[in-house]
Amino acid sequence: MKFFIFLISIFSLSYSLPTTPNAVALTVETNPDRNASSDTLLYFYVWGLFPNPASIGSCKQLYQRKYGFAKRVVAGCIVSTKQVSIWQKHNQAVQAQLTEKWGANWEEKFKKEVADCKAVKLANRKKRGQ
């Protein structure tokens, strides 16, 4: 029974995502909680082994929202080459849009801001003796 449910879920996942290789639809959602100049959030598609979403950390999530993106898990480890190709094209389109908005070195700035945030949090924990 569990195997049957697993097969149905895999089957439904394959039909819920874009399947035309030439069609790259950006996943954009309106987010009323954001107070940035743009109220949309772009999603990078991720698949395979990935960390638990709870372990990502508040700093990374905070700055992902600032820069207007997040990551959406679209599949586990078993995916077709066609699916990967479609998701990579989608991610390239998201990357291009973020580069246009934030500049060519936005990823380095993002990583530095996340690292600085984590350093401040760690220093604050040490001051409190945790």
pLDDT of residue 56: 65
Strand order in the sheet with 28-30: 28-30, 40-47, 69-75
pLDDT digits (tens, 9 = 90+) for 34-71: 444 445 899 999 998 876 666 667 888 889 999 999 99
Q: Could you tell me the residue range of the domain that residue 87 belongs to? A: 2-128
Model pLDDT for residues 84-115, shown as the tens digit of each residue: 999 999 999 999 999 999 999 999 999 999 99
Over residues 73-86, the mean pLDDT reads 93
Q: Does the pLDDT at position 81 exceed 50?
A: yes
Task: Say whether pTM exceeds 0.75.
Answer: no
CA distances from 91 to 1, 41, 44 (A): 35, 13, 5
Q: What is the mean pLDDT of residues 113-127?
A: 89
Q: Is the dihedral of CA 36, 40, 44, 50 positive or negative?
A: positive
Which of 90, 47, 48 is closest to 69 using CA atoms? 90
Q: Is 2 helix (H, G, I), strand (E, B) or coil?
A: helix
Banded pLDDT at 12 (limits 50, 70, 90): low
3-state helix, strand, coil in the chain (%, to 5): 55, 15, 30
Question: What is the number of domains present in the chain?
Answer: 1
Write down the pLDDT at residue 47: 92
DSSP structural state of residue 55 = G
